[in-house]
Amino acid sequence: MTIQQLAGRSLQKRLALAYAAGIYAAGVLVLVLVDVPLASVHAAKPIGQPSPSMITEAGPGISLPQLLMGSAVALVILIPVALALGWFVAGRFLHPLRAITATAKSISAGNLDSRLDLGEPTDELTELGHTLDDLFTRLQAAFDAQRHFVANASHELRTPLAGLRTLLEVALADPDADTDTLRSACREALALGGHQERLVQALLALATSERGITRWDTLDLAHVVEGALASRRDQATEKGIHLAEHLTPAVTAGDRGLIESLVANLIDNAIRHNHADGQVEVATQTSGTQVALTVTNTGPVIPGDQIQRLFQPFQKLAPDRHGRGDGYGLGLAIVNAVTQAHHATLTAGAHPEGGLSITVRFAHEPSLTSGGPPP
């Protein structure tokens, strides 16, 4: 039989043939171990008058042809027995694998609820089943999150488009519209377009963050934070928010653009979700093999069980937290995606008096001196 013909057989057939060959080989070995001693056995035959104490002479008991004939018959009978036992053992061995295959075939993008639930006994195949159950659970969560994301993104994109269309239809339907009216409609249309553009940019930033890292650069978080704070001081001053910084060199490695996006979103989130005369503190530090970026702000009280939800796309805490309409619920989702892309850790805690403290810890990259400039 060629290798191609053997490979074309089912796995149970191949395993059955392997098990049958092992059983048959064991049977042949047993026969050999039994036949060799039997071939030398001689029956005891008395000489003269039978007496318990008389000397006896050995004579042949089992002839060699009889022994060979019996062995041949036993070997012939052993062939179907070995095949049957091999087929049974292979079937029992492959039963969990068939359950895995049947469940995997029944699972699709619209039906991720099926599970293997192989149970006991615990062996390599049941361990594989448990691993696949965990995989199916993660896939179901990912598909659900994707559906929610698409639905929320569609809603957020449709709102400014609907407003823009209504605005233009009203302006065109007004027969008495003068230049000032049309200019006002154009300004509102530009504002709606800007809102939509910022939303698309946020979605693009989120998608880029989730794509992963393609280039690793060495940079200092303190320099990145200084640049982000410099471009936002006027905005914070207009809202009556004080920016405080406690920056020490914190050298790490990663995608510079993504880390700048993370820092910008953390600071923007701290300013946006704050109150008048509030405060935002940004700190960087190096501790052992890690560097940490911490952003703390004052603001409304956040329930502890709602913190993790804020790091999901389009999740907002309450209407009063985004009543000004300048947030999309994507800032902290981008922060979370960038953190995961860099294999960093993110922790967040709410203050009893209000506000949030977020810390992102990156791996320390000591290739730069403590006071050296970024690359």
pLDDT at 149: 73
Task: Write out pLDDT tens, residues 55-82.
Answer: 444 445 566 676 667 777 777 887 888 7
Is the predicted pLDDT of residue 40 greater than 50, yes or no?
A: yes
Specify the pLDDT at position 4: 45
Report the C-alpha gap between 272 and 194 in whole angstroms: 18
Token pair belonging to 201:
């940019």
Compute the average pLDDT of residues 360-364: 92
Q: Is the pTM of this model over 0.85?
A: no
The whole-number pLDDT of residue 369 equals: 39
At 87-97, the pLDDT tens digits run: 887 777 777 77
